[in-house]
Amino acid sequence: MRDILNSTGNVFLQTILYLTNTNFTADNRIDPSSLMSTADEVLQNSLYNVEKGVGFWGNYIMRTDDRNVAVKCYDKLGCYSINPPWTDVSRPVSKYPEPPEKVSPKYCLYTRHNRHTCQQLIYTSPKTIYRSYLMPTHKAYFIAHGFLENGEKDWIKNLTAELLERYDVNVISVDWGNGSSPPYTQAVANIRLVGTITAHLIHTMSTLVGLKAEFCHVIGHSLGAHLAGYVGSTLQQKFRQKLGRITGLDPAEPHFSKTDPIVRLDPSDANYVDIIHSDATPFIKGGLGMDEPIGHLDFYPNGGENQPGCDKGLMKYIHQEENSFFKGMRKFLGCDHVRSLQFFNESVNTHCKFIAIECDTWENFIAGECFECSENRICASLGMNSFHTVQRETAGSGVMDSAFSRSLVKLYTITGPQQPFCRDLYRITVAISSSEESLEHDGEVGQFKIELIGEGGIKTEPLNVFKEQYFKPGEVTRQVIAGSYVGRVESAILHWTHQMFWLLSLRFQTPKVHLGYVIVDYIQDLKVQSIKLCPEKEEILSGRSIELFAC
Query: For the domain that residue 282 is a member of, what is the CATH number?
Result: 3.40.50.1820
Residues 466 and 376 in one domain: no
Residue 291 marked ligand-binding: no
Looking at per-residue pLDDT, the higher value among 11 and 196 belongs to 196
Instruction: Report how far residue 223's alpha carbon sits from residue 230's, in angstroms, rounded to the nearest whole number.
Output: 11
Residue 29 has pLDDT above 50, yes or no: no
CA distances from 134 to 76, 121, 470 (A): 25, 10, 63
pLDDT in tens, 461-474: 999 998 878 888 88
In a domain, 115, yes or no: yes
DSSP for 70-120, written as a single string: SEEE-GGG-EEE-STTSSBTTBS---PPPPHHHH--EEEEE-TTSSSS-EE
Q: In the prediction, which pLDDT does 512 show?
A: 82
pLDDT band at 485, cuts 50/70/90? very high
Q: In the prediction, which pLDDT does 316 show?
A: 63
Q: Locate all alpha helices (DSSP H) within 295-420, ordered by sequence.
A: 314-320, 325-348, 362-366, 386-389
Q: Which residues are catalytic?
A: 222, 250, 337
Percent of the residues in the chain that have a pLDDT greater than 70, as a whole number? 79
Q: Which of 355, 379, 413 is the last residue of a domain?
A: 413
Residues 496 and 399 in one domain: no
Number of domains in the chain: 2
Residues 473 and 371 in one domain: no
Residue 275 has φ and ψ, to the nearest 5°, of: -125, 140
Q: In the prediction, which pLDDT does 391 show?
A: 56
In a domain, 301, yes or no: yes
Q: In the prediction, which pLDDT does 435 show?
A: 79
Helix (H) or strand (E) holding 186, with range, is helix 184-209
Looking at per-residue pLDDT, the higher value among 39 and 496 belongs to 496
Q: In the prediction, which pLDDT does 471 show?
A: 82
Residue 330 has pLDDT above 90, yes or no: no
Residue 210 has pLDDT above 60, yes or no: yes
Residue 81 has pLDDT above 80, yes or no: yes
Residue 239 has pLDDT above 80, yes or no: yes
Residues 335 and 445 in one domain: no
- Which of 212-226, 265-279, 486-500 shows the lowest per-residue confidence on average (mean pLDDT)? 486-500
Q: In the prediction, which pLDDT does 376 show?
A: 86
pLDDT band at 534, cuts 50/70/90? very high
Residues 212 and 270 in one domain: yes
Q: In the prediction, which pLDDT does 440 show?
A: 76
Q: In the prediction, which pLDDT does 472 show?
A: 82
Q: Which of 390, 413, 436 is the last residue of a domain?
A: 413
Residue 442 marked ligand-binding: no
Q: In the prediction, which pLDDT does 358 show?
A: 97
Mean pLDDT rounded to a whole number for the chain: 84
In a domain, 82, yes or no: no
Q: In the prediction, which pLDDT does 163 show?
A: 98
Residue 513 has pLDDT above 50, yes or no: yes
Residue 266 marked ligand-binding: yes
Which structural domain range is residue 477 located in?
424-550
What is the DSSP-derived secondary structure letter of residue 488? Answer: S
Residue 212 has pLDDT above 60, yes or no: yes
In a domain, 15, yes or no: no
Residue 389 has pLDDT above 70, yes or no: yes
In a domain, 45, yes or no: no
In a domain, 363, yes or no: yes
Q: In the prediction, which pLDDT does 12 show?
A: 41
Q: In the prediction, which pLDDT does 7 show?
A: 35
Over residues 527-548, the mean pLDDT reads 90
DSSP for 268-310, written as a single string: GGEEEEEEE-S--S-GGGT--B--S--SSEEEEEGGGSS-TT-
Residues 229 and 163 in one domain: yes
pLDDT in tens, 393-408: 333 345 656 667 889 9
Residue 159 has pLDDT above 90, yes or no: yes
Residue 62 has φ and ψ, to the nearest 5°, of: -105, 115
Q: In the prediction, which pLDDT does 500 show?
A: 59
Kindly report the CATH number assigned to the domain that includes residue 462.
2.60.60.20
Q: Which of 357, 391, 413 is the last residue of a domain?
A: 413
Residues 333 and 436 in one domain: no
In a domain, 510, yes or no: yes
Residues 330 and 479 in one domain: no
pLDDT band at 530, cuts 50/70/90? very high
Residues 132 and 210 in one domain: yes
Residues 363 and 448 in one domain: no
Residues 440 and 364 in one domain: no
Q: In the prediction, which pLDDT does 509 show?
A: 61
In a domain, 167, yes or no: yes
Residue 475 has pLDDT above 80, yes or no: yes
Pairing between strand 106-110 and 170-175?
antiparallel
Residues 381 and 449 in one domain: no
Of 497, 494, 492, 484, which Cα lies nearest the Cα of 532? 492
